[in-house]
Amino acid sequence: MAEQHTISIDAHGAHPAFGTEVVGMLLQAMRESPAPMVLTEPDGCILKVNEAFECATGYAINELVGRSPSMLRSGLQGRSFYSTMWASLGSQGRWQGEIWNRRKDGQLSHEYLTIVTLRGSDGVAAYHLGTYAEQGAQLTGSGSARRDAATDATTGLLSRKAFTEAADLLSEKADVVHVLALDIDGFTELNELHGLASGDAVLRQMALRCTEVAAADGRPAVVARVGPDEFAIALADSNADSGDVVQSFASRLYAKTALAFDLGEGKHIQISVSVGLSSLARGCASAAEALLHASAARREAVPGLPTLQCYEAQDGQRRMALALRDAVRLNQITVAYQPKVDLASGQLSGVEALARWVLPDGSSISPGEFIPLAERRGLIGLIGDSVLEQALAQLSSWQAQGLAAPVVAVNFSALQFQRQNYVQHVALALDRHGIPARLLEIELTESLLFGDIDAVMQSLKSFRNLGVTLSIDDFGTGYSSLAYLRRFPVQYLKIDRQFVSAMEDDASACEIVRLIVDMAHRLNLRCIAEGIETEAQLKLLQSMGCDEGQGFLLSRPLDASATLSVVSGHLPWAPIFGSGHAEMEEVDLDQLAKRTSASQSDPARCKGDIADGSFTERPFQDMRAVADTSGAALELFQESQSSAPPLRSELCRTG
């Protein structure tokens, strides 16, 4: 932080490279702007702020001038965030994005900031000018809608959705984030007895007390109102194994809330609260999930007793399973669509329907958490049926709009596949929505291939006779049998993302991917790679002849409205397949293989087949003779990851 000193800037104290008239106009614009604005020196020292900035931060101008904007940092965004910001200002003269700041009273604000570098006639940076969107603003939507999405109108605290976003950011820096859910006991009765105005007064005072306790603690914290009478606090801790910090915090919180609340007109009331605790470091995939756990624990607390009720995983799993069952019944399981792209032409080749659990407040539970839970609790079939119905309804909608509907891939679980008459169930669903079977692709996991093979074979043939496309998902990570694979009527193999993501660093991963692509083509199957995140990975896959791909480089999963734009022909990945991007060198996989490690110094071995967990010396042309891989691809890759030194292949040359 810059040393505090007093600086004054006016039209007569302008930078030498700027005329006094120009600076005068700039300062006038700042004074009249309703948006918070700050003017700094090139090193960040604050020179001037407007009245809107004072209101937004809670600081007076004499507390800001001469200081660094770092005094507003929330602690939620790390050093790399600010390094990127300053690097962008240095190279491009501009930065814009979302930022979390902390007001003087300790409350967080979620804002959209644009910074521009003002250069003099000599081309040297003279000032930085920062302009904030209105306090609490999000990137899209009207002003009032943005405020409503980010803050609670009654208390001014963050909303539930903004809380989970902020707590997720906090968890990226802290060893552990404690999430506390606080509920006002008997709040409904309080409203009925004293009136809604008194209830709102209690809510505002509770918000202030929670904020004061969090601010006094000195650790990065987030406070929000997440329900009618429920508050949430996320508290960063540097020691994941110690509960002392959160217990001490809870004690101060109980002491603060035990003080009388002022209802106005000389009336005061004593209330009690119940507090539940969960932690992001204890297996929670997201802040939204941790908040659900903390709320579940809070409901187990005994009203009136100042004890912190901790979340127990076993009970929480049961409660979450019940919540998941309700989510299916209440249509809270929605579908996102991730585009699949033809890697030769760059055209849309299909979309994959992915389940999403969206809570009523707009926050969501990670699929990595609720899908395994659904599988353990026998709910995966219900979710699969829901996704299938929504995907077919969406296809029907696209067709009704006169669009060329893409093939939609839906993941099928072993439970669904093993149901009696399930082929007939799918056929009826297609007929009900008026969808040709050719527009449905069913993705199967490799583990399905090791059930009742005859029954599996019969079902697969029935689906193929129906006209449905079949693919094997995450190929290479399970229990693949090439002998069975040749008999199964599948048309696609999907290469697992862990091989794709490692291609740039590991020659074995490259060879495994090329092996799968070549094998698929020799068996007259098409191949799709998932998890493409860089242009280097894309170019490698294209050089191998991989047919299709999907991943964040091309497109993240999209909601139905955004997918409509893609289906209509607006392809966000189109520039990647056009000109003006980095030119990729021809990839010599033999050379890449030579560089893996001394133990893999013979590149001929990298051209062999995978069998029994090691490369063989057989020519690649004998691939069809291999009977079983038994997951050897994954085993080999994992072995190479643990034994071979890291390498970075030089694949990209800027054009």
Segment 359-370, tens digit of pLDDT = 877 778 878 778
**How far apart, in whole angstroms, are the C-alpha atoms of residue 397 and residue 284?**
37
> Contact, 303 vs 272, CB < 8 A?
yes
Q: How confident is the model at residue 637 (pLDDT cuts 50, 70, 90)?
A: very low
Residue 407 pLDDT exceeds 60: yes
> Contact, 260 vs 272, CB < 8 A?
no
Q: Environment class of residue 421 by beta-carbon count within 10 Å: exposed (0-12), middle (13-18) or buried (19+)? A: exposed
Mean pLDDT check: name the lowest of 111-115, 183-187, 226-230, 649-653: 649-653
> Contact, 483 vs 457, CB < 8 A?
no
**Structural domain boundaries of the chain?**
11-138, 151-311, 317-411+558-571, 419-478, 491-550+582-655
Q: Return the pLDDT at 313.
A: 62
Q: Return the pLDDT at 653.
A: 27
pLDDT tens digits along 280-319: 764 456 888 889 888 888 887 777 777 787 776 656 666 7
**How far apart, in whole angstroms, are the C-alpha atoms of residue 77 and residue 43?**
20
> Contact, 418 vs 446, CB < 8 A?
no
Q: Say which residue, 387 or 377, is predicted with more confidence.
A: 387
Which structure tokens are listed for 211? 């904020």
- pLDDT mean over 548-567: 94
Integer CA distances (angstroms), 459 to 247, 371, 456, 482, in order: 56, 24, 5, 19
Find the DSSP H helices in 406-478.
414-417, 422-433, 453-466
> Contact, 220 vs 76, CB < 8 A?
yes
Q: How confident is the model at residue 600 (pLDDT cuts 50, 70, 90)?
A: very low
> Contact, 10 vs 27, CB < 8 A?
yes
Rounded to the nearest 5°, which phi and psi values hold at 384? -60, -40
**How far apart, in whole angstroms, are the C-alpha atoms of residue 458 and residue 463?**
9
- pLDDT mean over 249-260: 89
Q: Return the pLDDT at 406.
A: 94
Query: Side-chain half-sphere of 278: how many Cα atoms within 13 Å?
Result: 30
Q: Say which residue, 256 or 378, is predicted with more confidence.
A: 256
> Contact, 483 vs 627, CB < 8 A?
yes
Was domain 317-411+558-571 assigned CATH 2.40.50.140? no
pLDDT tens digits along 486-543: 777 889 999 988 889 888 888 888 998 999 999 899 989 999 999 999 999 999 999 9
Mean pLDDT check: name the lowest of 36-50, 101-115, 529-543: 101-115
**How far apart, in whole angstroms, are the C-alpha atoms of residue 402 and residue 562?**
17
pTM above 0.85, yes or no: no
Select, from the ranges 110-119, 170-179, 464-473, the one with the highest average predicted confidence (pLDDT). 464-473
Residue 241 pLDDT exceeds 80: no
Cα four-point dihedral sign 200, 204, 205, 211: positive
- pLDDT mean over 13-33: 70
SS3 label, residue 314: helix
Was domain 151-311 assigned CATH 3.40.50.2300? no
Select, from the ranges 36-45, 393-402, 489-498, the one with the highest average predicted confidence (pLDDT). 393-402
**How far apart, in whole angstroms, are the C-alpha atoms of residue 136 and residue 102?**
12
Q: What is the average pLDDT value for the chain, to the nearest integer?
A: 77
Residue 478 pLDDT exceeds 90: no
Q: Return the pLDDT at 603.
A: 35
Query: pLDDT exceeding 90 applies to what percent of the chain?
Result: 31
Q: Return the pLDDT at 624.
A: 33
Q: Say which residue, 419 or 271, is predicted with more confidence.
A: 271
39: enclosing H helix or E strand: strand 37-40
Q: How confident is the model at residue 46 (pLDDT cuts 50, 70, 90)?
A: very high
pLDDT tens digits along 89-103: 888 888 888 788 888
Instruction: Tell me how crowded residue 449 is: count the other CB atoms within 10 A of its CB.
Output: 21
Q: How confident is the model at residue 623 (pLDDT cuts 50, 70, 90)?
A: very low
Q: Return the pLDDT at 447.
A: 61
Integer CA distances (angstroms), 434 to 269, 350, 437, in order: 62, 18, 9
Residue 165 pLDDT exceeds 90: no
Pick the CATH number of 11-138 from 3.30.450.20, 3.90.180.10, 3.30.300.180, 3.90.420.10: 3.30.450.20
Integer CA distances (angstroms), 486 to 489, 520, 523, 586, in order: 8, 10, 7, 32
Integer CA distances (angstroms), 424 to 380, 427, 549, in order: 19, 5, 31
**How far apart, in whole angstroms, are the C-alpha atoms of residue 307 and residue 267?**
28
Residue 17 pLDDT exceeds 70: no
Q: Return the pLDDT at 506.
A: 82
Q: Say which residue, 72 or 144, is predicted with more confidence.
A: 72
Select, from the ranges 39-53, 214-228, 280-294, 334-348, the one with the highest average predicted confidence (pLDDT). 334-348
Q: Environment class of residue 601 by beta-carbon count within 10 Å: exposed (0-12), middle (13-18) or buried (19+)? A: exposed
Find the DSSP H helices in 361-420.
367-376, 380-400, 414-417
SS3 label, residue 290: helix
Which structure tokens are listed for 110? 């979620």
Q: Say which residue, 648 or 63, is predicted with more confidence.
A: 63
**How far apart, in whole angstroms, are the C-alpha atoms of residue 480 and residue 448?**
10
349: enclosing H helix or E strand: strand 348-358
The single residue listed with the structure tokens 């005061």 is 268
